[in-house]
């Protein structure tokens, strides 16, 4: 079987069945005939969508991490904290493991996912494929499993409910920005087409 025939095939990630690729229109899905797992789906303007979502997420980085998440007050004393300001006290206490997890999974990894996605989408839009781009794509595919800002949001909402019994709590602008950033980090994983990237890279290298 020559390379041109191999290019027409795709392998199921679940059962390894080789299947001939067909062209799909928007919102169509191709499923494995053996195990029914999703192989790929048709997407329209996915590069533009990826650029829009990743750029929107990056625009939310500063307000999400540096503006106050909550404003708490009791007996005339008020206090507020942002994501970044809450990390050093945790790192300097017995909760340093939780602080390290917060720094990695809710701050560093989501930012890296959005930045790498934006950078790759820019290159796809401009039809440029420098040598390091494939390594960036591999890094993205590893990082996407570890970015978990939604877990942090869930923890904040639980804390918010419990604090209402003892404090007057108001959600800050940082919370709204963080929820928007979380939404973008989740949405970007649905707009990115890994198959499209590797196919484009293969054809560029073959040419």
CA distance 103 to 181: 15
- pLDDT grade, residue 97 (50/70/90)? confident
Average pLDDT over residues 171-191: 83
Q: Is 111 in contact with 178 (CB distance < 8 Å)?
A: no
CA distance 52 to 191: 10
Residues 120-170: tens digit of each pLDDT: 889 888 888 888 888 888 888 888 877 666 666 666 666 666 666 666 667
Q: How far is CA 62 from the centre of its chain?
A: 17
Average pLDDT over residues 1-15: 66
Q: What is the pLDDT of residue 198?
A: 72
Start and end residues for every CATH 1.20.140 domain found in the chain: 44-206
Q: Which residues neighbour 136 within 8 Å (Cβ) at sequence distance 6 or greater?
A: 116, 119, 120
Residue 173 has pLDDT above 60, yes or no: yes
Q: What is the pLDDT of residue 25?
A: 63
Residues 13-48: tens digit of each pLDDT: 778 778 777 766 666 777 888 888 877 666 666 788
CA distance 77 to 171: 16
The alpha-helical segments, DSSP class H, found in 18-78 are 46-59, 61-66
**Assigned CATH for 44-206:** 1.20.140
- What percent of the chain clears pLDDT 70, i.e. is strictly above it? 71
Q: What is the pLDDT of residue 116?
A: 92
71 — phi, psi (to 5°)? -115, 115
């Amino acid at each position: 079987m020559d390379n041109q025939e191999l290019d027409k095939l795709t392998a199921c990630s679940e059962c390894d069945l080789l299947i001939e690729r067909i062209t799909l229109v928007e919102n169509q899905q191709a499923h494995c005939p053996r195990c029914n797992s999703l192989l790929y789906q048709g997407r329209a303007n996915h590069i533009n969508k990826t650029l829009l979502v990743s750029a929107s997420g990056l625009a939310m980085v500063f307000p999400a991490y540096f503006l106050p998440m909550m404003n708490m007050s009791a007996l005339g004393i008020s206090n507020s904290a942002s994501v970044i300001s809450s990390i050093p006290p945790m790192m300097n206490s017995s909760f340093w493991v939780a602080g390290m997890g917060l720094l990695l999974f809710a701050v560093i990894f989501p930012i890296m996912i959005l930045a790498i996605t934006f950078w790759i989408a820019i290159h796809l839009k401009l039809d440029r494929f420098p040598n390091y781009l494939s390594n960036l794509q591999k890094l993205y595919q590893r990082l996407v499993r570890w970015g978990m800002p939604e877990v942090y949001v869930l923890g904040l909402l639980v804390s918010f409910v419990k604090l209402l019994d003892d404090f007057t709590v108001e959600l800050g602008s940082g919370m709204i920005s963080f929820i928007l950033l979380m939404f973008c980090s989740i949405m970007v994983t649905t707009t990115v087409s890994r198959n499209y990237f590797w196919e484009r890279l293969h054809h560029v290298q073959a040419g």
